[in-house]
Amino acid sequence: MKSYLAAAVCMTSTPDVDKNLTQAEELIELAVNQGAKLIGLPENFSFLGNDQEKITQVETIALKSEKFLIRMAQRFQITILGGGFSTSYTEDKSKVYNTAILIDPNGLELSRYHKVHLFDVNVPDGNNYHESNTVKAGSSLPPVYDGGDLGKLGLSICYDVRFPEVYRHLSREGAEILFIPAAFTAYTGKDHWQVLLQARAIENTCYVIAPAQTGNHYARRFTHGHGMIIDPWGSILASTGSDIGVAIAEINPQRLQQVRQQMPSLQHRVFY
């Protein structure tokens, strides 16, 4: 692992796939122009609309999203995470997978993860979310990919952040950087987003790269924003706030080693 710059993209996706991909490309280019070599896009980066639209458009969403990620990786010679988008129908054709894919600069798929924890929550602001109505949960723990000079990268998606056992698994598998792409609700985000990200970074002494959705997407769907990068001590290195933009910070192996020596909690684990 070597020092390099990473970026967490914060965007406002809508039901218009082409418009979303145009916005994403502009933000990727902005990050690349600032030197980023590893870039994360948020959950639902290519489509954020109602459930019925998602189901009827899944083949278009999947095809355009994967082609886009490959094209971006090759064009800019970066490693990129598509932080969650609808992929294939399941066997009953009424549900899809929410999938994160990691692509290398040659356009090759490095790792893939189907979101395991689905957001079925009635939020106190009056919004009700039932992700399991149209999404089939993955059945496997998220992977860790050894990215060589980029370090060991652990994948997750949004609601997973509330389940610390997911990240303990990733750190146990050697993760040094945790991806937590999200479309976190505005109501819960203001109280929980930052503190959860910092907790996952601190307890696992890992960097966290957390791309995010922000603003109003359609109807009453609002997200919190604040795409950010956090170091293994829990310090926020960069944040977009509630704005569309990119958070860029250095991923530094010396800093990682320093924190893990100062706070060797991973070595002190009793229960596995």
Which residue is catalytic, options 64, 95, 115, 136?
115
Please report, for the chain, how many H helices and E strands are present, in that order: 6, 16
Element at 99 (helix H, strand E) = strand 96-103
β partners of residue 248: 7
User: 114 Cβ partners below 8 Å, 6+ apart?
Assistant: 87, 97, 98, 99, 136, 137, 138, 139, 140
262 residue type, one letter: Q
Helix (H, G, I), strand (E, B) or coil at 243: coil
Cα-flanking dihedrals φ and ψ of residue 166, to 5°? Answer: -65, -45
Is 25 part of the annotated catalytic residue set?
A: no
Q: How far is CA 234 from the centre of its chain?
A: 18
The whole-angstrom separation of Cα 24 and Cα 21 is 5
Is 64 part of the annotated catalytic residue set?
A: no
Which residue is catalytic, options 66, 152, 158, 176?
158
Q: How many CB atoms lie within 10 A of CB 25?
A: 15
Which residue is catalytic, options 10, 37, 43, 206?
43
Is 29 part of the annotated catalytic residue set?
A: no
Cα-flanking dihedrals φ and ψ of residue 87, to 5°? Answer: -115, -125
Residues with a catalytic annotation lie at 43, 115, 158
